[in-house]
Amino acid sequence: MTRLPSESWTNRVGLPALLAALDAKNGATRFVGGFVRDSLLGITSADVDCATQLAPHDVLDRVKKAGFKAVPTGIAHGTVTAMLPGGGVEITTLRRDVSTDGRRATIAYTDDWREDAARRDFTINALSADPESGHIYDYFGGLDDLDTGLVRFIGEPLKRIAEDHLRILRFFRFHARFGKGKPDPASLAACTERANDLMALSRERIADELLKLMALPDPSETVEIMNACHIFRPVLPEIDADAHPRVASLVRSETQAGIAPDSIRRLAALFPPDSLLAEAMATRLKLSNTARKRLATATGSAEAETARALAYRLGRDSAVDRLLLNRLPEAARTIQYWDIPKLPLSGGELVQRGLKAGPLVAATLQAIETQWISEGFPSSDRVRQIAEEKVSSALAD
């Protein structure tokens, strides 16, 4: 019989005491969702989620009496977060959906574990575990699916998607992470049929899910499937047929360079290399200003400058992005931890050497900087020599 590994939770400071307060011994509270799934796969899960038959305000009281801070993070939907020394633990009262509109659900509380599990998206996410015995409760075949690497909707896929349209993108993300072989045919067909439903979602939710997908070790094959099924077309039609080879190439470059995956860099590979297009996409997805700048600067050629010159001009992160996207992993490796220097010279020093303050100083300083970069950022002594040469030339003119 499959059981939850006890070492996945017993050594977490405060967690046994919390479970005791929530009457887990008598079956009132279980571990649920991703924590159970990941623990069974031997993956250390940062998040611990619990479900309980206890009412939300009862949970609040019990958490406080156990000596932990209780935060009503989603009290309207039955969720309380207990702040333990090792991090927050979400505790959600068992629920059932009363109505859904594709973006949010109206819920009612229940004490039926199967009814709560039935409202989850995929079979592998509907597993729950008794903290006392480690016994796994599996109402929909999630253990077999986890073993075979099959990501499958619970029940009728079209109904699950109608409840929350974001599940279309989640299906592909979970397939990229846990799937083995081809996607579940019925789930894939439903996602393909309902791809236009993505237009009803906020761009922030789409961006968040897309960035999670792109942060996975190798999402390239899943990107190819999504393109073939026209999943991107309703919301990001600029993602073209070459997205798969671009992403696959980037993944290889990151691996060769020994550089960790980066979701913003990977996002840049989804679109044709065009800085204006990249910036427009970032704006549409409502990404941060930092992310928007990185996307815009990641595109373009990396052949005209050395890796260090590129890093000096663009910043290290943007230079690494551009080098990897241009299939130059060794060059990217050389600047990964390079401390970008500052020109050891100021305009005031040029004035002291005899130049008149104004445009001439700025032009001379730029000329010195250009030569300093072209010589590979030499020492201060060499910069002074360059300055003497440029100042003499400027005065002679």
pLDDT digits (tens, 9 = 90+) for 39-74: 999 998 888 999 999 999 999 999 999 999 999 988
Higher pLDDT, 173 or 77: 173
How many whole angstroms separate alpha carbon 20 and alpha carbon 18?
A: 5
**How far out from the chain centre does Cα 125 lie?**
19
| pLDDT tens-digit series, residues 2-14 | 899 888 888 889 9
Long-range residue pairs from 346-353, CB within 8 A, at least 24 positions apart, any chain: 349/387, 350/387, 350/391, 353/387, 353/388, 353/391
Mean pLDDT of 274-298: 93
Assign domain 1-143 to its CATH superfamily.
Beta Polymerase, domain 2 (3.30.460.10)
Q: What share of the chain has pLDDT > 70, as a percent?
A: 98
| pLDDT tens-digit series, residues 216-271 | 999 999 999 999 999 999 999 999 999 999 999 999 999 999 999 999 999 999 99
| Portions of the chain given CATH number 3.30.460.10 | 1-143
- The confidence score (pLDDT) of residue 105 equals 64
**pLDDT class of 88 with cuts at 50, 70, 90:** very high
Mean pLDDT of 365-376: 95
Long-range residue pairs from 208-211, CB within 8 A, at least 24 positions apart, any chain: 209/166, 209/169, 209/170, 209/173, 210/169, 210/267, 210/285, 211/263, 211/264, 211/267
Task: State the CATH class of domain 149-235.
Answer: mainly alpha
**pLDDT class of 99 with cuts at 50, 70, 90:** low
DSSP 135: B
| Portions of the chain given CATH number 1.10.3090.10 | 149-235
Mean pLDDT of 364-372: 95
Q: Look over the chain and give the mean of its residue pLDDT values, rounded to a whole number.
A: 94
